[in-house]
A and B are shown apart, each in its own frame.
Chain A
């Protein structure tokens, strides 16, 4: 499978939501992150988000901050993300990168896009880049056939949802709540609203992230969204039980998204 659209289309054809899992590259080491991400794929993640650890992650809560901090302390270097993506792709995963944008600016937007595409990456999720500032990235992603996944939030106006979805490809990332990453008990009500508000503006699949931690929540969200995105809960699992715990959580969540599939 060579595109994000194909991943979502296959899940749709199978009558289920897509499961998207996040873990940072280099956590706890570069090799360790390849193992964890591969376990995620084996457990049933349709798409994996390979995070780039960053010194100032303003959209992340304590769990992911700590994991990214650990990767940086272990000496993670940006160029290693391409190695991680290539290895996870070779193991059968479909990878997008999730990154704050300054590391990409410093590496060079065009060079980053070229190297990611060469490694087999399918796209980039940009939590602190809005289309208004994305001129260079729009051009580079077009040039190298990468999907650009921008975010919409419960605070987004209709006008902003329209312009953001118009600039997006692959899928649209809807943040379920106002806040930073981190597992929460309840996310569905605001999430339903932002998905419903986004739907009329785009034919792209919509994935919901922020706060999802268990199969029941995944099932509930898969009832109205096309994809369910889980991050902090995977970090917690990795801390608790390494690749085995990550694989088990992915299996559990995969059953959840299958159970709650929205009617076609």
Chain B
């Protein structure tokens, strides 16, 4: 029996509960969720995936591992993350009650740490000394660099050159934490290509290296294992919402790039048929423009980065380039379990445009004093949409997966506080204060004006 079982009895949810208690929605032996998932990889990686699967299966039933995971998440991550009522935001959502699951308050600023600490512990147990990872916005890279610093592991982060430019702050954070950051200059120079380069490194150095994949995509066992490390989000939130409101939420809103935060919060509610699960994909400039990352909405099934799932591709099966204002959602693939949830209708997926997300971003800043990650702002925008549809009796649980410190530069440009060729760090603060603006894409001062008449 795991040591966490005792704490379950006292009603307190711990991180280890997500891995030592089967979810009841496991893939088959080959890692398939229906037709999706599996291992679409070079043979050279199969042995390492088998090793990882064996190590994970052993660890999830090992009291020592579970205790250490719980200790880290309590004392280092700061779990459980709180649930926050946001009544002033709710006024813009048709009066529906919005509750935020505050993964933004975790150490390193997002949900990514849940998975990273688990996989870093596994890396040590497998006797590997070197960790590689991909990153888009830099959140997973920062979390990975953090765990590697904590656990004395060598850390190499692959990041598309386009992303190292737009997320310079996170590049500096990773380097401060002791990681080597390699800007990837092939292909579209974004997250997709960072994953390609990480896979090439892994094929070459697999004996000594663990690939600490940051989302619920990739070959088996990653989609299942990463999901399990994030299940704590939903398990905590389910108990918190019931305690706070006396019932289950009407709907859950989460953003979906690869899909890790969404699957983490959805999973505890899969067997509650009355709870609507809604994933919000990056609609970019609008799906009709072709400039978006709405993989489940607009894509079709195929194999990419080790899994069979939905992806954005042309008629020859070449991967299409995705686009989103949010680097963390700018990915043409998606986790295989989401593909199955879409097909069977248990979850639904809708696009949210850059403009809608940034409007919700501004609104949450102004009404509640919370600066969300632009990724998470897609979920907030989705909740506003759902609230108007469901009405004032609804309770909408939002996974606020990350905080927006990293996005200040992008937001300041969007709202015209600085020019498009400036950075917030180097701009003249007096000019920002006095509101020098050149044709902003969105208005920060009028946040909420496009929703339902600001009442605050």
Contact = CB atoms under 8 A, between A and B. Distances in A.
Contact of B204 (A157, A160, A180): A180
A133 B38 contact: yes
Contacts of B48: 155
B39 A133 contact: yes
Interface stretch (A97-105, A213-221, A237-245): A97-105
Contacts of B50: 157
A152 B48 CA distance: 14
B238 interface: no
Interface in B307-333: 308, 313, 315-319
B43 A164 contact: yes
A155 B43 CA distance: 8
Contacts of B316: 77-78, 103, 106-107
Interface in B156-175: none
Interface stretch (A13-21, A30-38, A51-59, A222-230): A51-59
Interface in A26-68: 54-59, 61-62, 65
Given A103-B318, A133-B38, A160-B46, A58 B302 contact: no
B412 interface: no
A108 to B, nearest CB: 10
A65 B302 CA distance: 21
B203 A152 contact: no
B303 interface: yes
Interface residues of A, number: 40
B24 interface: no
Interface residues on chain B, size class: 35 or more
B43 A160 contact: yes
A153 B43 contact: yes
Interface stretch (A2-10, A122-130, A247-255): A122-130
B40 A101 contact: yes
A132 interface: yes
A32 B43 CA distance: 32
B111 to A, nearest CB: 26
A155 B41 CA distance: 13
Interface in A74-107: 77-78, 101-107
Contact of A105 (B199, B205, B206, B302): B302
B435 interface: no
B203 A179 contact: yes
A233 to B, nearest CB: 19
A64 B50 CA distance: 29
Contacts of B43: 130, 150-153, 156, 160, 164, 175
A18 to B, nearest CB: 21
A175 B38 contact: no
A25 interface: no
Nearest to A77: B316
Contacts of B41: 128, 130
Contacts, number: 111
Contacts of A128: 40-42, 303
B303 A102 contact: yes
A196 interface: no
Contacts of B206: 155, 178
B450 interface: no
A151 B46 CA distance: 12
Nearest to A61: B200
B200 A58 contact: yes
A151 B206 CA distance: 17
B199 A58 contact: yes
Nearest to A151: B43
A23 interface: no
User: Residue among A78, A106, A175 with the most chain B CB within 10 A?
Assistant: A106
Contacts of A69: 187
B420 interface: no
A193 to B, nearest CB: 14
A152 B203 CA distance: 13
A72 interface: yes
User: Residue among B42, B46, B203, B301 with the most chain A CB within 10 A?
Assistant: B42
Contacts of A78: 316-317
Contacts of A129: 40
Given A106-B313, A129-B40, A178-B206, A56 B319 contact: yes
A57 B200 CA distance: 9
B317 A106 contact: yes
Contacts of B42: 58-59, 127-128, 130, 151, 153
B47 interface: yes
Interface in B34-92: 38-48, 50
Interface in A114-161: 127-130, 132-133, 150-157, 160
B207 interface: yes
A178 B207 contact: yes
A103 B186 CA distance: 20
Contacts of A130: 39, 41-43, 46
A77 B315 CA distance: 9
Nearest to A72: B318
A106 B204 CA distance: 29
B231 interface: no
Contacts of A157: 47, 50
Given A77-B316, A78-B317, A155-B44, A106 B302 contact: yes
A55 B319 contact: yes
Contact of B203 (A58, A101, A160): A58
30 contacts: A55-B318, A55-B319, A56-B192, A56-B196, A56-B304, A56-B305, A58-B42, A65-B186, A77-B316, A102-B303, A102-B304, A102-B317, A103-B317, A104-B317, A105-B302, A105-B303, A105-B317, A106-B315, A106-B316, A106-B317, A128-B42, A129-B40, A130-B46, A155-B44, A155-B45, A156-B47, A160-B47, A164-B43, A175-B43, A175-B44
Interface of B: 30, 38-48, 50, 186-187, 192-193, 196, 199-200, 203-207, 301-305, 308, 313, 315-319
Given A55-B319, A133-B38, A175-B43, 17 more contacts: A55-B318, A56-B304, A59-B203, A61-B200, A69-B187, A78-B317, A106-B315, A128-B42, A129-B40, A133-B40, A153-B43, A153-B44, A155-B46, A160-B47, A178-B204, A178-B205, A178-B207
The 5 A-B pairs at the shortest CB distance, nearest first, are namely: A106-B317, A153-B44, A103-B317, A78-B316, A179-B204
